[in-house]
Copies of this chain bind each other. A is one copy, B any other.
Amino acid sequence: MNEFELIAHLTKSLPTNASVVAGAGDDCAVLDLGVPDKLILFKTDAVVEGVHFTKETPPEKIGRKALARCLSDIAAMAGTPTAVLVTIALPKKFEVEFVAKIYSGLNEVAEKYGVAVVGGETTTNPGRMLISISLLGTVPRGKQILRSGAKVGDAIFVTGELGGSLAGRHLEFEPRLAEAGWLAEHFHIHAMMDLSDGLAGDLRHMANGSKVGAILLKSALPVSRAAKLRAKESSDAKPAALAALTDGEDFELLFTVASKDAVKLLDAWKKNFPHTKLTCIGKIVAGEEVFLRDKATTHKLNAHGYVHFP
């Protein structure tokens, strides 16, 4: 049973109440706590030593990444982050200066996006460091963008470039809060999520949530320089397109709009975000499968995010 199957098993039937607008299964939970014009976004996410960072990662970047990952989820709902709690589980031996630097990196990104750090806790985790972030945000009532709204015929867009994030970008990416807010304000975005597990797997989550299928165009994928470089330098490395589909940790926005809005959106985007790529990478189709179309052939992308290249 992989992570996604486990989560599906655990979240089959969860306690609920009148506050829940959207529970488990989207980038954030959406709650109605009675704010007249807003809904509340609620998100938790953890980074673990040896999984999301290493002993060699500069501590400021660990803290930065821990919070920025959650901010990316708030962006994916077209929300605004408000307040964060930080739980740090520390090995028995740790240097106070190292922990202070984690906070310093986290605080810096919090300041930048207007997020209050309102507490948290430290606890013991013999063997390795783990940081769990809990984030609250808001979204104008009715303006939250879920994963589940993609419609047959929609154009599929992705911001930025994909693949090779572990070469550095995963520690330095800016959460797409401004871009997502702009998109929600100016266009009717049907579905949106952030890319954390890799396009092939994440698009499948969106398709399943929306009860649709999707076709990606291999030639359209915005492959990062880092992924291309790695593929070139080592014959053991993934082909660049496969890296863009499956590396993960991209923290870019994946969203769909009616195809009639696609050109207008691209034009307006270029004016507003001239330094950030936006690419139409495919379309939503009927069915429940996700396909990759190459020049001559069409391949199925499987559930684990890996495509069977010929």
Please report the C-alpha to C-alpha distance between residue A36 and residue B89 in the assembled complex, in whole angstroms: 36
Q: Closest CB of chain B to A50's CB: distance in Å? A: 7
Question: Number of copies of this chain in the oligomer?
Answer: 2
Range class of the A interface residue count: 35 or more
- Interface-lining segment among A132-140, A214-222, A285-293, A294-302: A132-140
B-side contacts of A125, CB under 8 Å: 48, 125, 128, 130
Q: Which of A96, A103, A117 has the most CB of B within 10 A?
A: A117
> Which of A9, A42, A122, A128 neighbours the largest number of chain B CB atoms within 10 Å of its CB?
A42
Please judge, given known A-B contacts A44-B132, A50-B126, A123-B46, whether A103 and B10 are in contact too, CB under 8 Å: yes
Task: Give bound CA distance, A83 to B110, whole Å.
Answer: 24
A10 → chain B closest CB, angstroms: 5
Could you tell me if B127 and A128 are in contact, using CB atoms closer than 8 angstroms?
yes
Which of chain B's residues have a CB closer than 8 A to the CB of A29?
83, 85, 118-119
By the criterion CB–CB under 8 Å, are A44 and B10 in contact? no
In A1-60, the 8 Å CB interface with B consists of 1, 3, 6-7, 9-11, 14-17, 19-20, 23-26, 29, 31, 33-38, 40, 42-46, 48, 50-51
Measured CA separation A31–B84 after assembly (Å): 11
Q: How far is the CB of A99 from chain B (nearest CB, A)?
A: 7
State the CA gap A34–B82 with chains docked (Å): 12
Nearest to A111 among chain B residues (CB) is: B15
| Among B11, B33, B40, B107, contact of A119 (Cβ-Cβ < 8 Å) | B11
Least CB distance, A283 to chain B, in whole angstroms: 29
- Selected from B100, B118, B134, the residue in CB contact (under 8 A) with A24 is B118
A276 close to chain B: CB less than 8 A = no
The answer to whether A48 and B123 touch across the interface, beta carbons within 8 angstroms, is yes
Q: Which of A111-158 contact B (CB under 8 A)?
A: 111, 114-128, 130, 132, 134, 136, 138
User: Is A87 an interface residue when CB atoms closer than 8 A count as contact?
Assistant: yes
- Minimum CB distance partner of A114 in chain B: B17
Q: A15 to B116, Cβ gap below 8 A?
A: yes
CB–CB A121/B45 < 8 A? yes
Task: Assess whether A34 is in contact with B24, with CB atoms less than 8 Å apart.
Answer: no
Known A85-B44, A134-B134; judge A117-B15 contact (CB<8 A).
Answer: yes
> Closest approach, in angstroms, between the C-beta of A57 and any C-beta of chain B?
16
Check B130–A44 contact: CB distance below 8 A. Answer: no
Q: Does B89 contact A46, Cβ atoms closer than 8 Å?
A: yes
Known: A10-B99, A14-B116. 13 other contacts (CB 8 A): A1-B96, A15-B107, A15-B110, A15-B116, A17-B115, A19-B83, A20-B118, A23-B116, A23-B118, A23-B119, A42-B85, A45-B121, A50-B126
